[in-house]
């Protein structure tokens, strides 16, 4: 079995509990430990991940240009984009919240878009360099993905804080919808990416 990959050894690992299961038994379609569906490599993994990533990159533009919220006060209405909201928070002295919004709403999506693009490009070119750091990068993207909705939570808290004040009200703008779509699409892109492709190029080059 040494030197063989999982498909050649008729083995597949569960995506949920990582239990190693044999594919020799055709009736075994679910993990015997956790019951999750078992599946071999998706041949269209790169194409699906790239499609989700492209859609996310396109929507990232209106997410930053369109207002994410509209504020109504006794002095009139005001539209704020993500960046203008960060600057407003800095001007009012709320720099911890400004840093949190900047990191969660601007830095994290940009880093995710760049990192997934790098993984897709290197796998598409069948690069054999730095497989372990690229695998660690993918695991980091997956871990960050669990906290991607932090952006939405921040906006929700902001809206709730302002609504407590009777002289002001906040309504979500088109940018918030685009931003939410970016978060979901980047998560789908990461989930569609098969990290085993990183090591497939090395196995092929050794044959």
Q: Which helix (H) or strand (E) holds 106?
A: none
CA distance 178 to 149: 13
pLDDT, one tens digit per residue, over 128-143 is 888 889 988 988 888 8
Each residue's pLDDT tens digit, 88-128: 778 888 888 788 888 888 888 888 999 999 999 999 988 88
Residues 6+ away with beta carbon under 8 Å from 195: 135, 138, 139
pTM, two decimals, is: 0.75
SS (H, E, C) 32-88: CCCCCECCCCCCCHHHHHHHHHHHHHHHHHHHHHCCCEEEEECCEEEEECHHHHHHH
Section 28-49 average pLDDT: 76
């Amino acid at each position: 079995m040494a030197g063989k990959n999982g498909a050649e050894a008729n083995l597949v690992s569960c995506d949920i509990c990582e239990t190693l299961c044999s594919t020799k038994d055709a009736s075994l379609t679910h993990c015997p430990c956790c019951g999750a569906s078992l599946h071999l490599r998706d041949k269209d993994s790169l194409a699906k991940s790239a499609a989700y990533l492209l859609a996310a990159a396109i929507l990232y533009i209106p997410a930053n240009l369109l207002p994410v919220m509209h504020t109504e006060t006794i002095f009139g209405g005001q539209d704020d984009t993500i960046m203008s909201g960060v600057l407003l928070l800095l001007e009012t002295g709320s720099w911890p919240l400004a840093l949190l919004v900047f990191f969660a709403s601007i830095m994290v999506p940009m880093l995710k878009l760049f990192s997934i693009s790098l993984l897709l490009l290197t796998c598409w070119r069948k690069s054999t360099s730095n497989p372990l750091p690229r695998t660690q990068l993918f695991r980091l993207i997956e871990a960050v993905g669990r906290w991607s909705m932090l952006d939405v939570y921040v906006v929700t808290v902001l809206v709730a804080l302002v609504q407590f004040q009777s002289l002001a009200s906040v309504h979500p703008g088109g940018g918030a919808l685009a931003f939410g779509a970016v978060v979901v699409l980047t998560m789908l892109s990461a989930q569609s990416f098969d990290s085993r492709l990183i090591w497939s190029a090395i196995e092929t080059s050794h044959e």
